[in-house]
Amino acid sequence: MSRLLRGAFFLLIVRPVLTIALGTHVRGRDHLPKKGPAIVVANHNSHLDTLTILAMFPMRNLPSLRPVAAMDYFMRSGPMAWFATNIIGIIPIVRGGGDRNADPLAPCRDALDRGDILILFPEGSRGEPEKLSAFKKGVAHLVKSRPDTPVHPLFMHGLGKALPKDSFLLVPFNCDVVVGETLSWTGSVESFMETLQSAMTGLAGQIHMVPWD
Partner 1 sequence: MSWIAGFFSTPVHNAIGAIYGLLVVASLVSFAFRKLRPSEAATELSKRVVSWWWMITVFTIAILTNRIVSTVFLGFMAFLALKEYFSLIPTRRVDRGILFFAYLSIPVQFYLAHIGSFGMFLVFIPVWMFLFMPAAITLKGETEGFLRAVGMLSWGLMITVFALSHTAMLLTFGVKLGYAAGPLLFLVALTEANDVAQFTWGKLLGRHKIIPKVSPKKTWEGFIGGLITTAAAAAFVGPYLTPMPMAWSAAAGALIAVSGYLGDVTISACKRDLGVKDASNLIPGHGGILDRVDSLIYSAPIFYHLLHYSYGVWPEGVL
Contact positions vs partner 1 (CB under 8 A): 23, 25, 129, 158, 161, 164, 167, 169, 171-174, 208, 210-213
**Which of residues 1 and 169 has its CB atom nearest to partner 1 in the complex?**
169
Largest CA distance in the chain: 47
- In the bound state with partner 1, the residue whose beta carbon lies nearer, of 167 and 201, is 167
- Closest contact distance (angstroms) between CB of 175 and partner 1 is 8
Cα torsion angle, 153, 42, 173, 20, sign? positive
Distance of CA 129 to the CA centre of its chain: 15
Residue 16 or 172 having the CB closest to partner 1: 172
Q: Supply the minimum distance, in Å, between the C-beta of residue 156 and partner 1.
A: 14
* Residue 40 CB, nearest approach to partner 1 (Å): 22
Q: Which is nearer to partner 1, 34 or 131 (CB)?
A: 131
Q: What is the DSSP string of 17-45?
A: HIIIII--EEE-GGGS-SSSSEEEEE---
- Least distance in Å: CB of 161 to partner 1? 8
Distances (CA, A) of 42 to 3, 16, 55, 78, 133: 25, 22, 14, 27, 12
Nearer to partner 1, 174 or 201 (CB): 174
* 126/161 with CB nearer partner 1: 161
CB of 179 to partner 1, least distance (A): 15
Please answer whether residues 152 and 182 qualify as being in contact, where contact means their C-beta atoms are separated by less than 8 angstroms.
Answer: yes
Q: What's the closest the beta carbon of residue 210 comes to partner 1, in angstroms?
A: 6
CA 187/CA 190 separation, integer angstroms: 9
d(CA 50, CA 142): 20
**Other C-beta atoms within 10 Å of 66: how many?**
22
